[in-house]
Amino acid sequence: MAEPLDRSKLDALADDKVRDILRAASSWAKEAPPALTPAIRAVCVRLAEMVADQRHYLAPLPEPQESERSTILTCLADRLRSAAVTQGISGLLQELSELELRATASWSLVEGAQSEWIATAIRFLEKQAAALPKGERPDDYWADDVVAGIIASVRALIGVDELHARTEARYSGGHKRILGEEPPAA
């Protein structure tokens, strides 16, 4: 018989992940002008929230790991939407959300939506940088580097690595996708 979930332990894990995500945002903001720190934090928080919300689209794990993962990701997504996390960036999150609605409303369901979100996040950060005086703006392609770093950090912190992501993409949707030299199923 499986042991019951220790909710306090899972809540503590979700809290740790939120702290790690906010630390990652701060780390990625170090190279940018301080005025861009809130925008970088908004991108990091929003991406982490979307990744955590993908819990319904991940291949199931054996129990009790599946229940634990689902609980942690649910708690994480809720905490990332909390006032404690969004304080000081709620306006930027709203602005980013409005851009997302036009570009990437189906993050988990539509192929290419994640790529569109990446482009949206880069445009969002570039727009924030363009509002700075010319001498304070970061170098070209800084937003590309920051978004790529945020993606790598969030995936690692939440536990969605590239191998897992490729597996999910290959086997999601109820049918197996044929890749390379693999013979079709009879």
Q: Specify whether the CB–CB gap between 10 and 75 falls below 8 A.
A: yes
Pairwise CA distance, residues 110 & 104, whole Å: 9
- Can you give the C-alpha Rg of the chain in angstroms? 18
Instruction: Tell me if 50 is assigned to some domain.
Output: yes
Q: What is the pLDDT of residue 26?
A: 94
Q: What is the pLDDT of residue 44?
A: 92
Instruction: Tell me if 131 is assigned to some domain.
Output: yes
Which structure tokens are listed for 156? Answer: 């690692």
Instruction: Tell me if 173 is assigned to some domain.
Output: no
Judged against a pLDDT cut of 80, whether residue 110 lies above it is answered with no
- Higher confidence at residue 100 or residue 166? 100
Which residue range(s) make up the domain with 28? 10-55+64-166
Mean pLDDT of the chain: 79
18 Cβ neighbours under 8 A, 6+ residues apart: 76, 79, 80, 85
User: What pTM did the predictor assign?
Assistant: 0.77
83 pLDDT band, cuts 50/70/90, is: very high
Instruction: Report the number of distinct structural domains present in the chain.
Output: 1
- Higher confidence at residue 23 or residue 68? 23
Pairwise CA distance, residues 179 & 176, whole Å: 9
Nearest residue to 174 (alpha-carbon basis) of 59, 9, 54:
59
Instruction: Tell me if 150 is assigned to some domain.
Output: yes
Instruction: Tell me if 184 is assigned to some domain.
Output: no
Judged against a pLDDT cut of 80, whether residue 35 lies above it is answered with yes
16 Cβ neighbours under 8 A, 6+ residues apart: none
